[in-house]
Amino acid sequence: MSDKTAPWFGKVMWELIKRQPGRYALAQTLWITIWSMQIIVGIIIARYFDALTEGITSSQLVSVVAAMFAYAAGRAVIIFFGMRNHGSLLFRAGALMRRNLLGRIYELPGAAAMDESPGEVVSRMRDDVEHVVEPFDFSVDITGAGIAGIISFVILWNIDPVITVVATVPVIIVGIVSNRTGGIIRRYRIDARAATETITGFLGETFAATQSVKVAGAEKHMLARFSSLNDVRRSMMVKDRTLTAVLEATFRNTVNISTGLILLLAAGRLGATGSAGISIGEFALFVYLVTQITETAYFYGMFVARVKQAKVSVERLTDTLAGEPWERLVSDTPLYLGESEFMPSETRQAPAPFRVVEGRGLSYHYPDSDAGINDIDLEIKRGEFVVVTGRIGSGKTTLIRTMLGLLPAESGTVVWNGEVVDDPSVVLTPPLVAYTPQVPRLFSMSLRNNLDLGTGLTAEDLAESIHIATMTRDVDTMDDGLETMIGPRGVRLSGGQIQRSASARMFARRPQLLVLDDVSSALDVETERTLWARLFESRSDVAALVVSHRRAALAMADRVIVLEAGRVVASGTAAELESSSDEFRAIWAGTPNGAQVLDG
């Protein structure tokens, strides 16, 4: 169904070029110029030495120096404009890939675990995108270096074919070595980075858990672990740096050995007159241009190694696209990078009034696991308060997520007002439905933006939602009120405040159906009770689907659905279930009350 194998890298590069043909053509032209013009320096040096041996005149000297400065000035100008163009070219290529990846991630079912941890996805979007951009960057160098290398070779060939061939042999070695080691070094570097990430991750966890570590008296063991992680990284870092030094040494040695070979072959002919002789100028040109050719070979080797790396990165990024072909990564998507460009706002039609939503025969199982839900029917009508309850692992959260399309249902359908919904994750969103997960996430922006999410709510709307969520007093005590920056993932708020902010966010969407996963770990009973009371007071016609095992919610429910091992084992009001369901009684009786204290 989808082509998951990585394409020939040229195809990816061609797509990237097609996105910005003008910038790429300019970059290519400038880089060919930058590389080729270096040959001029060699020629100037050669002319200088030849003039010197023949008795240099001051006008010759002036022209040599003038040529040098003209060259430097011209090159500086090209570098200046070339770099500006290049920066923009490369940035846009990376930006496009990041944008396409993020777009795809939003399309996937929100609660389905990705194959990679969030940290890994971030590092892919940073490092793998970078690895794809690198050979794209190098491609202009490689053309420039190639052309400069060929010109150099032709010039030398015309002076002395034998010396040229012999002196270029070591160059091939550079190409091979840089290709090989270039790949290994990048692998070491990736390993070293992974080792560093492990270390910082471990330190972060340790210091987030200092109290637990101290209380458990585990400092010694934690440090031993830290020390062994450090050792792993040291060996990777040393390998990386040493091999980098080897590569550089090989490059410099090749230049030296080529120079030595030129010396050997030129011995006896250097300075001699006649056609067999080699002038000092020619010798200087030889050494200079062999360096140039070596550099070409070095770049070529690095380029090939980077293409290899990039292929792996494209494969990984295609994985992250989860089923989409690689073309999606580089597909033409507007980036709105110009100051004057703006995002078109999405408009959604006002929905028909909600009557009833049903889940029919819903099933979902977690990958490589029996855990999940089996063939569940569920119905919520306008104005109803439905509570899903059950033990840990009975499938309460899974049911809600599958219903909302946040997990891809294996079978079953979701029906809204009698019509089958094809993609619940798109349809069952505000303003029809809003949802607060068990562990809600907030984002690193102001509290207002977290609640508003770009919909432009009025102050009254916001205030009302905050009131229902029993959050008014918290907002009042914050230094900047609604404009308070709540930090990454909302770290500047307490757990209860995050939960209530997320609830306010849900209320602010003014949905017709509210879906709320267990709030008991973050809200105490009184607060939860207040929240429900306020909600039904001000929004009497909404329906709510709630996961809870608290008596407060159970007793209030129009219907309680009891799950056990992923199946519905009973449903009805709390009073009905108390007599009909053992599982419900276990949950209800497990709920503590005063009598047990007296009996115990």
List binders of other proteins among 463-502 (CB under 8 A): 488-489, 502
**Contacts with 136 (C-beta within 8 Å, 6 or more apart), sequence order:** 13, 16, 90, 93
Q: What residues numbered 185-224 form the site for other proteins, per CB under 8 A?
A: 196, 199-219, 221-224
Per CB under 8 A, does 368 bind other proteins? yes
Task: Establish if 532 lies at the interface with other proteins (CB under 8 A).
Answer: no
**Interface positions, 37-56, toward other proteins (CB under 8 A):** 45, 48-49, 52-53, 55-56
Give the torsion through C-alpha atoms of 522, 525, 531, 534, to 10 deg.
-170
Is 158 or 345 the residue whose CB approaches other proteins more closely?
345
Question: In the bound complex, what is the minimum distance in angstroms from residue 5's beta carbon to other proteins?
Answer: 25
Stretch that binds other proteins, among 178-186, 351-359, 453-461, 478-486 (CB under 8 A): 453-461
- With binding defined as CB under 8 A, does residue 74 bind other proteins? no
Site for other proteins (CB under 8 A): which residue of 6, 17, 111, 388? 111
* Residues in the chain, overall count: 600
**Dist. CA 499–CA 494, nearest whole Å:** 9
**What is the closest distance, in whole angstroms, from the C-beta atom of residue 478 to other proteins in the complex?**
19
Nearest-5° angle of CA 522, CA 527, CA 531? 105
Give the residue, chosen from 40, 121, 176, 190, that forms a contact with other proteins under the rule CB under 8 A.
121
* Angle at alpha carbon of residue 84, lines to 79 and 89, rounded to 5°: 120
Residue placing its CB nearer to other proteins in the complex, 3 or 219: 219
Per-residue b or e along 115-151, where b marks 16 or more CB atoms closer than 10 Å to that residue's CB: eeeeeebebbbeebbbbbbbbbbbbbbbbbbbbbbeb
Cα torsion at 279, 281, 287, 292 (round to 10°)? Answer: -130
Binding status of residue 409 toward other proteins by CB under 8 A: no
With contacts defined by CB under 8 A, name the span among 23-31, 77-85, 176-184, 293-301 that binds other proteins. 77-85
Q: Mask of contacts with other proteins, 537-576, x by CB under 8 A?
A: ------------x-x-------------------------
Task: Compute the least distance from the CB of residue 336 to other proteins, in Å.
Answer: 5
83 binds other proteins (CB under 8 A): yes
Beta carbons within 10 angstroms of residue 239's beta carbon: 17
Element (H, E) at 543: strand 543-547
Could you tell me how many residues of this chain bind other proteins (CB under 8 A)? 170
Q: What's the distance, CA 387 to chain centroid?
A: 37
Binding piece for other proteins, criterion CB under 8 A, among 131-139, 299-307, 351-359, 434-442: 434-442
Residues 6+ apart with CB under 8 A from 596: none
Question: Is residue 406 within the footprint of other proteins (CB under 8 A)?
Answer: yes
**Binds other proteins by CB under 8 A, chosen from 2, 8, 14, 72:** 72
- Asked if 349 touches other proteins (CB under 8 A), the answer is no
Structure tokens at 317: 């990024």
Question: Phi then psi for 117, rounded to 5 degrees?
Answer: -75, 160
Interface stretch with other proteins, choices 18-26, 353-361, 428-436, 532-540 (CB under 8 A): 428-436
* Amino acid of residue 253: N
Residues 6+ apart with CB under 8 A from 476: none
Say which amino acid occupies 343.
M
Q: Which of 150, 172, 238, 485 binds other proteins (CB under 8 A)?
A: 238
Annotate each residue in 281-310 with x if it binds other proteins (CB under 8 A) or - if it does not, as one string: --xx--------------------------
Q: Considering only residues 12, 27, 39, 125, which one is a binding residue for other proteins as defined by CB under 8 A?
A: 125
**Residue 216: CB minimum distance to other proteins, A:** 5
Residue 94 near residue 266 (C-beta atoms within 8 A): no
- Cβ partners under 8 Å of residue 101, min gap 6: 124, 125, 129, 317, 320, 321, 329
DSSP 324-380: S-GGGGG-------STT--PPPP--PPPPPP-EEEEEEEEEE-TTSS-EEEEEEEEE
Cα separation, 490 vs 522, in Å, equals 14
Q: Does 593 bind other proteins (CB under 8 A)?
A: yes
Stretch that binds other proteins, among 71-79, 132-140, 182-190, 458-466 (CB under 8 A): 71-79
**Minimum Å distance from CB 120 to other proteins?**
9
69 binds other proteins (CB under 8 A): yes
Q: Of the candidates 2, 5, 411, 455, which one interacts with other proteins according to CB under 8 A?
A: 455
- Pick the piece of the chain touching other proteins (CB under 8 A) from 108-116, 141-149, 478-486, 565-573: 108-116
